[in-house]
Every structure is written in C-alpha cells, then in structure tokens.
Amino acid sequence: MTQARAPRADAVRNRKKILAAARHQITLHGPGVGMDEIAAAAEVAVGTLYRHFPTKTDLVGAVVAESIGEVADDAEAAQERVESGANAMQEVEAFIGRTVEASARDRVVKTAAQALGAASTDTAEEARARAALATLITAAQTSGDLHPDVTVEDFYLLLSTAPSDRPSEARARWLTLTLPGLTSRGRAPHV
C-alpha cells in the first residue's frame, strides 16, 4: 500500500496559486480563457498547470468545487444559528438570498461549468453542503412554514436557475416570485 507521500510545500503553494488565478481569470474574461493565460496569471508554466489538473475540465471543476465549499460553509453556519435558536424559515430564505448573490458575483464560473460540462460535483464538499441543507430544511418544516415536500434537490433546482447574470433588481424580483412556492401557504390547494 504505497502511502501517498505528503505533497511538497511548493506543490501545494502552486496548486493554490493556480486555483486562485483560474477563478480570477474566468470571472474576468469568461470561460474560454486560455490555459496559457491562466498559467501566466498564476506565475506558473502551462506544464505545471497540467501536472495539477490534467484537463481544462478538471481545472474548472476544481474551481466550481471550491465555490460549492463556500456554499457548504454558509449552510453550516446557518444550521448552527438555527441550533442556537434562530428562526429556521428566516435562515432558509436568507441562505437562498445570499447564495443567489454569491453566484451572481461568480456567475462566470457557473457558465464555465455548464459550458464545459464539468462533471457536477466534488463529493466531499457536496456532501457537507447536502447534510447541512437537509438539517436546515427539516428544521424549517418543523418549526416554520416550509412546505413538507421540499427537498435538497428543490433547493438546487432553484439555485441553479437563479438569474445570476441579471442586474440585482431582477434577482430580487426573482426571489419575490420564487420563494412563495417553497411555503405551505403559497402552495395551499385551491379553495
């Protein structure tokens, strides 16, 4: 069992520089930035870039995974606040709002992921996010007005269709139109 030798310090440093540069470049010039440009921005040679990420798809996938990690962090924080007594339904709505805003800031990353068909998700971060969201959802269904049939998939469905590339008023309006569908009252049967 060849224990994976601990990565060299500079290799770690390079990986970080590359990810940061990729994120920046993609946000700046859209997907379709050349690998050369990303490499240059990371102050690294293309070869090095390819040693860390064998494919452009892989690199973009990693950038996306990072974003997911941040979403997971956010969801976990919300869940902890709920455990400490915060209103679950309010946390759910606030979480959605923040995530939509975040994906607006990083919108090109999303586009990039789609454009390149980057495989959906890096398991570790994904799992964390999913766990925290599930807890949050259950809490809001118990103590609040979140409709009982709502699932984590529904969150993803909505978040992945948020108008991240539209002006902030559009995003606000979208929240107004969309959030009611998550509540019991909003979806109450016709009288």
Partner DNA sequence: CATGAATGAGTTTTCATTCAT
Partner DNA sequence: GATGAATGAAAACTCATTCAT
- Measured over the CA atoms of residue 47, residue 49, residue 55 and residue 56, the dihedral's sign is negative
| Cβ closest to DNA, residue 5 vs residue 190 | 5
Spatial distance between the Cα atoms of 71 and 60, rounded to a whole number of angstroms: 17
- Reported as half-sphere exposure (CB side, CA atoms, 13 A), residue 154 has a value of 14
163 binds a copy of itself (CB under 8 A): yes
| Cβ closest to DNA, residue 17 vs residue 81 | 17
Site size toward a copy of itself, by CB under 8 A? 26
Considering only residues 94-113, where is the footprint of a copy of itself by CB under 8 A? 111
166 binds a copy of itself (CB under 8 A): yes
Binding segment for a copy of itself (CB under 8 A), chosen from 17-25, 63-71, 78-86, 178-186, is 178-186
- Reported as half-sphere exposure (CB side, CA atoms, 13 A), residue 130 has a value of 8
Q: Which residue bears the tokens 């010039």?
A: 29
6 binds a copy of itself (CB under 8 A): no
Spatial distance between the Cα atoms of 52 and 17, rounded to a whole number of angstroms: 11
Spatial distance between the Cα atoms of 29 and 33, rounded to a whole number of angstroms: 6
Where do contacts with DNA occur on this chain (CB under 7 A)?
5, 7-11, 13-14, 32-37, 44-48, 50-52, 54-57
Closest approach, Cβ 29 to DNA, in A, equals 9
Spatial distance between the Cα atoms of 83 and 156, rounded to a whole number of angstroms: 23
Residues of the shown chain interacting with a copy of itself in the complex, contacts defined by CB under 8 A = 111, 114-115, 154, 157-158, 160-163, 165-166, 170, 173-174, 176-182, 185-188
